[in-house]
Amino acid sequence: MAPLAGIMNKTATDLHTRLMNRTARIAVVGLGYVGLPLVRALRSAGFPVIGFDLDQSKIDALRGGRSYILHLGADFFSGLAGDDRFTPTCDYTDLATADAILICVPTPLGPHREPDLSYVIGSTQTIAKVLRKGQLVVLESTTYPGTTRDEMKPILDATGLVCGEDYFLAYSPEREDPGSAGRSAAAIPKLVGGIGDVSTDIAMALYTGVVAQTHRVSSAEVAESAKLLENIYRAVNIAMVNELKVVLDAMGIDVWEVIAAASTKPFGFQAFYPGPGLGGHCIPIDPFYLTWKARAAGTNTRFIELAGEINTAMPHYVVERTQSALNDDKRSINGAHILVLGVAYKKNIDDIRESPSAEIVELLLERGAVVSYHDPHIAVYPQMRKHSINLASVTLNAETLRSQNCVLILTDHDAVDYQLVADHARLVVDTRNAMSRTTAAKARVVKS
């Protein structure tokens, strides 16, 4: 543990001691894709944990040991249900008993691509109702620089308690990688930046006991900006490789082979892969938090805007490629039977938020295609923010595949038998290079 940077009063010293010896009780607000892995890391570190969510069905599922996030595994949920030091609750007054409250609520975009901080503000207002001397509050949701200081602190200060003396406030972004084995929350280094030195010292005491590595920064704003930099880096590089895909396709060059070749360079290159468009709760959304904040600061974010433009054009590009591949088979897209393979935004997970598959399915339907889908992890298309698709996953077998004019691969789940597709489909449009895993395909494969 690094030396303390701030001068602590008794309230701070007591909380610091409780965090260091793991007797502190920790509350996690928001039990979704980010909150639950954090609960696991906190429990593994030995802390008693309260899990608070407004969604009663999640609390019921946690009490009953029923899974609602596939990639966490059934054992995770049954383990939590049998854990008497984990308390799931919908009752916010339980937060009063916590020594530290960690907020993991959604940060989506509004209808005009402006940050929607209503969940962050709502949960901070809830915490303010129970805030007492000696509590640490940490925001983990992704957001623009200044949120912790300018949006949350005034709400908590209005209780009359003083930040850095009575209560402590920090930002520590979550870096989940859903569905990737070996990357548990505890194994991923964590950034910690507080409102003042004492708040940072106290937040560091918590996370040092929970994750393998912590990195202290000088302010909440630095930690908020670093998280955005990480996601903007991905959005921009994915856009670059998506643009390259379109350019190389036009020249008859396989972008996947080009990326594999460039990846042999042992320095100065990191591989990013093209796809049907951006999906998930982070990469399509978070960069625009900075764009909005930049505008407020009288500047602009041209890289982010351009990357957004290229990435949001990808669903149209995929549909055009599908249409032209069908044309080569002397088939119109109008009336063609198209099986979409994989609708989740990413392989091996059951998360469909912002998935480009929804826009692609809608574009295909608009053009008169007869669309069905198979996704081993998504039985029914859920209602989405911008889309309403009335389809359920069909069985994937030789008969289904033979009845299609085209199979369009949008997500390369490992649970799909691609050799079956190669053996029985006529035409495969592949946006993920999934068919490279097969041998001797009877199907004509078009990369897109």
- Which residues contribute to the site for ligand NAD (CB under 6 A)? 29-35, 52-55, 58, 104-107, 119, 122-123, 126, 141-142, 174-176, 178, 281-282
Q: Which is nearer to ligand NAD, 142 or 433 (CB)?
A: 142
DSSP secondary-structure letter at 282? S
366 close to 390: Cβ distance less than 8 angstroms: no
Name the active-site residue from 104, 163, 282, 406: 282
Q: Which is nearer to ligand NAD, 65 or 106 (CB)?
A: 106
Q: Which is nearer to ligand NAD, 238 or 339 (CB)?
A: 238
CB of 448 to ligand NAD, least distance (A): 26
Give the 3-state DSSP-derived string for 88-134, with helices as H, strands as E and coil as C. Answer: EECCHHHHHHCCEEEECCCCCECCCCCECCHHHHHHHHHHHHHCCCC
Q: Which is nearer to ligand NAD, 34 or 407 (CB)?
A: 34
CB of 31 to ligand NAD, least distance (A): 5
CB of 55 to ligand NAD, least distance (A): 4
Shortest-Cβ-distance residue relative to ligand NAD = 32
3-state secondary structure of 385: coil
CB of 292 to ligand NAD, least distance (A): 15
CB of 30 to ligand NAD, least distance (A): 3
Neighbours of 395 (CB within 10 A): 7
Query: Cα–Cα distance between 448 and 431 in angstroms, integer?
Result: 5
Q: Which is nearer to ligand NAD, 31 or 255 (CB)?
A: 31
Query: Cα–Cα distance between 239 and 128 in angstroms, integer?
Result: 41
**Residue holding tokens 């569905």?**
179
Query: Cα–Cα distance between 163 and 58 in angstroms, integer?
Result: 32
What one-character-per-residue DSSP string does 297-319 give?
A: TT---HHHHHHHHHHHHHHHHHH
Is 163 catalytic? The answer is no
Angle subtended by helix axes 302-328 and 287-296, to nearest 10: 140
Catalytic residue annotation: 282
